[in-house]
Amino acid sequence: MQQPLTIYGQTFASRLLIGSALYPSPQIMQEAIQASGAEIVTVSLRRQNSLAAGQDFWDLIKALELTVLPNTAGCHSVKEAVTLAQMCREVFATDWIKLELIGDEYNLQPDPIALLEATAILLKDGFKVLPYCTDDLVICQRLADLGCEVLMPWGAPIGTGKGLLNPYALRTIRERLPNMTLIVDAGLGLPSHACQALEIGYDAVLLNSAVAGAGCPVTMAKAFQAAVSAGRFSYEAVAMPEKDLAAPSTPTLGMPFWHQ
């Protein structure tokens, strides 16, 4: 039995968080999210084009009976992110917020300076902030110092599917923040990428495009569910150390040998 994932005092059996955007249809979205085994789904107010459409989307999400994690996707300023977070709290009736604050349009990299400012404001306002950040150790340390209990460093830029571009940086964050809940968010494209994140000690992964953009989102969701579970089992088992020299797996002591 694997240890549960803990996020701001709540425990979850699944270590896979999943997004609700970009699916070919609402039905496929529901089926894929259910197939993933995820217990937390991210949502964004910015996807809603009208009141009716927004209500229909929200009804679909509520029907899944999962924990909702609103995000501030698309925000470029502290004021914009804080205002949207406050709107999300009212609409979705939760004080959880995935804080996204974009600083660069080319690779959608989070703005580290504005992220720290917005995080401080939202924590003071009673939010449970899950900040989306780069794999920069110092930024992660500053966010932890502010009072965040969960951090979400990227594996690669959003939607690229490149996997873990800098495993060294991610491992360093894990080692330096041993008691922090860490979730790799963004850039994962293959189930093996998710497995790798769990193998190096990350507590969970959050993804969207890798499932929603697959040829068969439901099947891909199942693949990611299996990969996350395998990665966590591998981490808990403690892998054998790497060696430079070959070592036989079958003992040679006591084996007969021939000589002339």
Residue tagged active-site, from 98, 128, 162, 243: 98
Instruction: Flag whether pLDDT at 183 surpasses 70.
Output: yes
Instruction: Flag whether pLDDT at 117 surpasses 50.
Output: yes
Band (59; pLDDT cuts 50, 70, 90)? confident
Q: Exposure string (b/e) for 191-216, b if CB count within 10 Å is 16 or more?
A: bebbbbbbbbbbbbbbbbbbbbebee
**208's tokens:** 């969207």
Q: What is the mean pLDDT of residues 88-110?
A: 92
Residue 73: closest CA among 90, 57, 61, 85: 85
Separation of alpha carbons 5 and 180, rounded Å:
11
Q: What percent of the chain has pLDDT over 90?
A: 79
Span 129-179, pLDDT tens digits: 999 999 999 999 999 999 999 999 999 999 999 999 999 999 999 999 999
Q: What is the mean pLDDT of residues 185-201?
A: 97
Separation of alpha carbons 32 and 21, rounded Å:
11
Band (258; pLDDT cuts 50, 70, 90)? low
Instruction: Flag whether pLDDT at 107 surpasses 90.
Output: no
Q: Residue 49 has what pLDDT?
A: 47
Question: 234: annotated binding-site residue?
Answer: no
Question: 107: annotated binding-site residue?
Answer: no
Instruction: Flag whether pLDDT at 46 surpasses 80.
Output: no
Span 216-246, pLDDT tens digits: 999 999 999 999 999 999 999 998 888 888 8
Instruction: Flag whether pLDDT at 259 surpasses 70.
Output: no
Contact status, residue 188 vs residue 155, Cβ threshold 8 Å: yes
**Which carries the bigger pLDDT value, residue 19 or residue 107?**
19
The DSSP bridge pattern shows strands 5-7 and 10-12 to be antiparallel
pTM for the complete prediction? 0.91
* Helix-helix angle 217-237:191-199, to 10 degrees: 20
Instruction: Flag whether pLDDT at 123 surpasses 50.
Output: yes
69: left (phi over 0), alpha (psi -120 to 50) or beta: beta
Q: Residue 105 has what pLDDT?
A: 84
| Average pLDDT of the chain to the nearest whole number | 91
Q: What is the mean pLDDT of residues 200-224?
A: 97
Q: Residue 54 has what pLDDT?
A: 60
Span 8-42, pLDDT tens digits: 999 999 999 999 999 999 999 999 999 999 999 99
Catalytic residue flag (residue 128): no
Q: Residue 260 has what pLDDT?
A: 58
Tell me how crowded residue 226 is: count the other CB atoms within 10 A of its CB: 13
Q: Residue 256 has what pLDDT?
A: 61
Q: Residue 194 has what pLDDT?
A: 98
Question: 208: annotated binding-site residue?
Answer: yes
Q: What is the mean pLDDT of residues 71-98?
A: 94
Band (50; pLDDT cuts 50, 70, 90)? very low
